[in-house]
Structure formats: C-alpha cells, structure tokens
Structure 1
Amino acid sequence: MSADTSLPVLTQKDFASDQEIRWCPRCGDYSILAQMKKVLPTLGIPKEDIVFVSGIGCSSRFPYYMSTYGMHSIHGRAPAIATGLKVARPELTVFVITGDGDALSIGGNHLLHALRRNVDLKIIMFNNQIYGLTKGQYSPTSPLGKKTKSTPFGSVDRPLNPLSVAIGAGATFVARSADVDIKHLTMVLERAARHKGSAFVEVYQDCNVFNSGAFEFATKKDQKQENCIYLENGKPLIYGNDRDKGIRLTGAGNPEVVNLSDVKEDDLLFHDESSDDPTPAFRLAQMRWPNSPEPMGIFRSIDRPTYDGEVDRQFKQCMEQGTADLEALFNSGDTWDVKPK
C-alpha cells in the first residue's frame, strides 16, 4: 500500500478519539495504542477508510480510543465480522484487535479460517497469558502449572503457541513483538499494516494486575538481548549482549545454540521471511524461552491472492457477463407457491 500524497497530512493526534481511556494504570495496552496511533499517519489512508473490529476483553476497548470507524463485536467473532466487512467493502483497511482468550478460545475457529482464507485483515492479538477482564482466570496461552482463580492447583493444560497456529493455518504474514519495545513494535505494526493478506501479530502485553512480569525476559533491557533473537531478513540468527551467540541447525534439522568463537558466521541459520515453505517459520515459532532464545520480529511475509480480492474479482466478472441476477438466484431450483385456502 502506498501513501496518497493528495490527502491532508495526518498526525497521531488525529487518530485519538475523545473517549476516556479506561485500562488499568500501567497496562501494556496503552503502549500498543500509542504505537498504533504513530503508524496510521504513515500509511496515507483517510481515517474514514480505516476500521477497527474487536471482540470481548480488555484489548477490545481499542476501537473506542481510535478516531476511525470501529465495531465492538461479540466474543471470539471479530474475525468473522471483519471478514464480512472486508468482502463487502474491499477498499477499506480493516484491523482486528483481540486477546489470547478472545482469539484462541471461543474465537479459535473463526481466527483459523480468516487466516486460512488469507483475508486481507490485520489481526493484532494482545497476549497476556491470562483472562484480565474477567479477573484472572487461566487462558489458552497460560503456561503449564499456572495458578489462577480457575486453576488454584495449577493448570494442567499445555498452552497453545499462537504463532505456530497462525503459520499452520497458512497466514501470509506472522510476527511477534512486545508492548514496551516501542521501536520494534512500531516497525512490526507498520509492516503488518502494509501487508496485503492475512497479517497476524502477537504482542506480548503485560497485565500488571493479574499476571505481572510474565514477559520480563523479553522486555527488561538487561535481559532481552540475552533471551531473544531479533529476526532480520537475509541475516544470520545472532544474539546476546555481546552478539557472541548464534543459532545453527544440527544434522537432524534442529536449532542449537553455538558460540561464535567456535563456528563461522556462514554456518549459522539465516532468516528468510519470504520462504513459501512454512517450515522455517514454524521452526522459529517452536523456539521458546526459557528452553531457547525466543525469536522476535517478522517470521513470515509472503504474497498470495486474498480471499476478499478473489470474491471481488468473481463478482465483477459475473456483472460483466450479465449473470449476476439475484432474483433468478432466489427463484432457482425447487420453489413452492404457498396460497391461502
């Protein structure tokens, strides 16, 4: 998507609504909102052509705080509603704002098919590994053994890996960032916004009331360089405060940590976000802290025809061929006339 230079120049203030922001003090949602407001003016899209659709949860208050069109929909159904909107109005830029519970529990099936179809939606999932709005129950991403109000003796569920789900469903853009990593998050949101197709972004978001500090390994300045690998397309996987460690593949194709003093840089695993084969991205998504350094950034970005684009193409083709007769469709096949006695 390219900026329209004929439009008035917008700033982040132009995208701020007049509504009072009602999240808990120091919630990570504030940072995500701020970075989104920074990104939108760079896109060159009129405010009236941008829509935010949300489900239910703390994150789903997001549309109220954006000076754009928006829909606060129902639990888990934001991808379905957004799909209908995008198919009906393909010229719009449609964001879906959701949480780990909203997207992966009741909304899992809707999310799966929006990604599978490659609907041109920008799905931003706030992951705090907890149900915050309903006061601290465990969610589909809560770690094994997590003690919450609904799992007082520890969760026995193995958590879903959101990026693995997205890659497995065929999402054409998959990325991860963290709420307070401002520059990185801004970059990721802008890349997602400019992608044509299903863009899925997992944002590590701190719920400082019910699950505080869950992502300190990826946000603390003195920890994140040692615990995370920041993906750069075409470059080797190197990390560490001194950038002295890297990732290479074993003979069995598994990633392993090596010291750069022991291997050549050319022996490391190089990142290719544009690979049509989902295997490299899936392999990266399986690397999770604390068992390994955790990748952050763009895992996958490929081009494929979009669902809404193909529907629009078919519609226009039917119109040109003169076959788009709604009345004939309604009266096709078996019909009955119901007459009064």
Structure 2
Amino acid sequence: MDNTAYNPADYKSDQPVRWCPGCGDHAILNSLHKAMATIGVAPHMTAVISGIGCSSRLPYYMNTYGFHTIHGRAAAIATGFKVANPEMTVWQISGDGDGLAIGGNHFIHAVRRNIDINMLLLNNKIYGLTKGQYSPTSARGFVSKTSPYGTTEDPFIPAELVFGARGNFFARSIDVELQISQEVLTAAARHKGTSVVEILQNCVIYNNGIHNFITDREHRAERTIHLVDGQKMLFGKNNERGIVRDGFLLKAVELGTDGYTIDDVLTHDARCQSNFLHQQLAMMDGTDLPLAIGVIRDVEAPVYNEELDRQVEEVKAAHGFDSLRSMIMAGETWEVK
C-alpha cells in the first residue's frame, strides 16, 4: 500500500458496462470500486480474475490487471498468479455456477490451501448467461429450463463448503446492501489468506425476486442480522430481538419477554479459532433464524504462498541451490551420446 489517496473512479475502466439494467452485478461492481479505494492498493498492483458467466465480465470494468479466463478455472489461475506475483492483490470473481459446479473442486482446494486471494461468489441461484438453467445453489423443486418439473437435488450452501474446507474467512452480503458489501470486501482484502465473500444478487431476467424473502424493505430488518465483531447479535427494526444459546443450538428471542435481557444475547467473535459457532451463524437462512450478513469468520492461519516462499528459501540455503538448473543437476545425471 502506498500513500496515494485513491477514489473509486481510479478503478473504473472506460468500457461500457454490459449487464442487464437492474442486475445486481451493477451494485456489486460499485461496491468493489469503493472498497478498493478504501483499501488503497494501487490499480497497477491489483489483478481481477474471473471465469465464465455474467459476473465474470467484471474484469472488463476494472482499471486494473484483469483476466477473463475459462469456465470454472478462475481459482486455479488466481492461485498461479498469486504464487508467481506475491506482491499483487488478487481478486477472483465467480458466479454460483462457475464457482461451485465446474469450478467446485478448485474452489474448495483454494480455500483449503489458504492462498492469499479474495474470492467473490455472486449467488443468484441460476445460470444467467446460458439463459436460465438451474445451478448448484438452486433449491430443491426449483423450476427452470433444465428442470421443468422441479429439481430433484439439494443445493450447495456456499458457507458449508467453505467451513468443510477449513476456511478461515467467510462473509456474506446482499446486492442491495451497498454499505455492508463495501465493509465485507474491505475486510476480505485485509485478511491474509483465502477470503470468501458470498453476495446474494438478483437476476432480473431469469430469476427475478429470488431473494425477495430477505431483501424486501418491509421484512429485511426481521429476516437478516448484521454481524459485527465485538458487538451483540441484535436485529429487528429497533434491535429488539437477539440471538441466544439454546443448548447446542441458537434461538432468536425478543428482549424483555420470557426473562431474556441484553445480557443473554451472544456477542459476535469473528476471530474465535473454533468454527463451531461460525458455522451455525452462517447456516441461518432467514426463516426461524435471520440470515447472517457481515463478516462471520476472520481467523489468522498459515498462508500458502508465504509458506511456499519460505520453504523454497530454506531448501536453497540448505543445499546451496541458486537456480532451478542447479537443483536439477544436483541429483543423479547422465549424458546421452
């Protein structure tokens, strides 16, 4: 990070944005530009890498280095780029199809390795670019062009994959929550290691209103909870409700009823090493318990690219290697005449 003050316009390219009017990608792009200005990493020290899909057009709209790669391989290419260029800040953009279907294997292994990249997973629960087929996050029974009688599959929940792969950073936002999106994107960039940010977005053409249950203004305060490290888990229009322990489970209660007070409400600790409570919070879905948005987990752990660099230097020092050739020639060799 240098001492230059950047503004969002510094990260915008001169390309016209080619997404459908009303698509949630517009709001996410705006939030990312603002988050980058807050972070303060120079555009020429930033790379944005994507796969295939509507969301994967995003690198065109960034005044940074950008790679619009191949289907499902954004995480693999972002990994190689970061290892080769450790001084760069790397953002990877994928949709729920690109990231969790053909790219699912790369997704979980990038998280497991804890490579220092920022992964944005834009989740509209549909294949938008290929015109409306169901995706790995579509709900059981969802009717689409490829499931005209309803899907017979259960969906992936991105948070489950992150925690199953022993992820150390997971956050969530909604396309209409621009301030929270900027907050979590900024936190993701400052985290050392793989950060995963799921942003729930609307597809106005093929899945319009898919997140209305939690995004409509009338019920959003009751069906979502903004988690902030060190603060009480309160929600509701007047913060009159809270999350408490109920045995090994969680429960939403109204303060002042059944003897519950503010002292009973849990305090969010995003930096707790144990991920048990973080998983429970991430799995809340807005029905019996509010959907959790904000930074849910943010824990330090060894970073893959830093550990790789350290190992290389140790081996070079121990064996006197000064190049790849010297390492290869140090073993048994022979000449073919």
- In structure 2, how many angstroms separate the alpha carbons of the residues matched to 1:39 and 1:49? 15
Aligned 8 A contact 1:90 1:312 in 2:
no
Deviation at 1:88, TM superposition (A): 0.8
Contact (CA 8 Å) 2:99, 2:121: kept in 1 or not?
yes
Amino acid at match of 2:243: I
The 5 A counterparts of 1:285-300 are 285-300=282-297
CA contact (8 A) 1:16 1:66 kept: yes
CA offsets per residue over residues 96-130 of structure 1, 9 Å max, x none?
A: 00010111111111010111111000000100000
**Paired residue for 2:51?**
55
| SS of corresponding position for 1:56 | coil
Structure 2 letter corresponding to 1:56: I
Pairing 1:158–2:138 present: no
Separation of aligned partners in 2, 1:335 and 1:210: 61
In the alignment, the residues of structure 1 paired with residue 62 and residue 223 of structure 2 have an alpha-carbon distance, to the nearest angstrom, of: 34
Deviation of residue 148 (structure 1)?
A: 0.3
Summarize the alignment of residues 240-255 of structure 1 with structure 2, pairs less than 5 Å apart: 240-251=236-247, 253-255=248-250
What is the distance in 1 between the residues matched to 2:314 and 2:142? Answer: 54
Q: Is 1:326 aligned with 2:324?
A: yes
8 Å Cα contact 1:318/1:324 also seen in 2: no
2:85 is the alignment partner of 1:85: no
What whole-Å deviation, never above 9, does each CA across 1:123-174 have from its counterpart, x for those lacking one? 0010000000000000010111100000000111111110121122122210
| Structure 1 equivalent of residue 9 of structure 2 | 13
Aligned to 1:134, what secondary structure does the other structure show? coil
Letter in 1 for 2:277: P
1:294 maps to amino acid: L
- The 1:336–1:317 alpha-carbon spacing in structure 2 relative to 1, beyond 3 Å, is closer
Whether 1:258 aligns to 2:253 is yes
Matched residue, 2:202: 206
Question: Which segments of 5 or more consecutive residues in structure 1 lack a partner in the other structure?
Answer: none
- CA shift for structure 1 position 329: 4.0
Give how far 1:288 is off. Answer: 1.2
For structure 2, the 5+ residue unaligned runs are none
Residue 219 of structure 1 deviates from its aligned partner by 2.4
- Name which of structure 1's ranges 231-240 and 207-216 shifts more when overlaid on structure 2: 231-240
1:19-59 CA-to-partner distances (Å, cap 9, x unmatched) read 12111111000111111111112222221110001011000
Matched, 1:268 2:265: yes
Q: CA RMSD in A?
A: 1.6
Following TM superposition, by how much is the alpha carbon of 1:333 offset from its aligned partner in structure 2, in angstroms? Answer: 5.8
| Alignment-mate amino acid for residue 65 of structure 2 | Y
Q: How does 1:109-124 map to 2 (within 5 A)?
A: 109-124=105-120
Question: Quick one: distance in 1 between partners of 2:332 and 2:145?
Answer: 55
Preserved CA contact (<8 Å) 2:321 2:327:
no
> Which residue of structure 2 lines up, in the alignment, with residue 176 of structure 1?
172
Distance in 2 (alpha carbons) for counterparts of 1:40 and 1:250: 40
Q: In 1, distance between residues paired with 2:206 and 2:336?
A: 60
Per-residue deviation at 1:242? 2.8
Give the match for residue 306 of structure 2: 309
- Residue aligning to 2:2: 4
Letter in 2 for 1:139: S
Aligned residues: 334
What's the offset of the Cα at 1:324? 4.4
Structure 2 partner of 1:105: 101
CA distance, structure 2, for counterparts of residue 211 and residue 306 of structure 1 = 37
Partners of 2:250 and 2:13 lie apart in 1 by 46
Q: Does 1:226 align with 2:212?
A: no
Kept in 1: contact 2:113–2:304 (CA 8 A) = yes
Quote the Cα distance in structure 2 between the aligned partners of 1:213 and 1:338.
69
TM-score normalised according to structure 2 size: 0.94
How far did residue 80 of structure 1 move? 0.8
% identical equivalent positions: 44
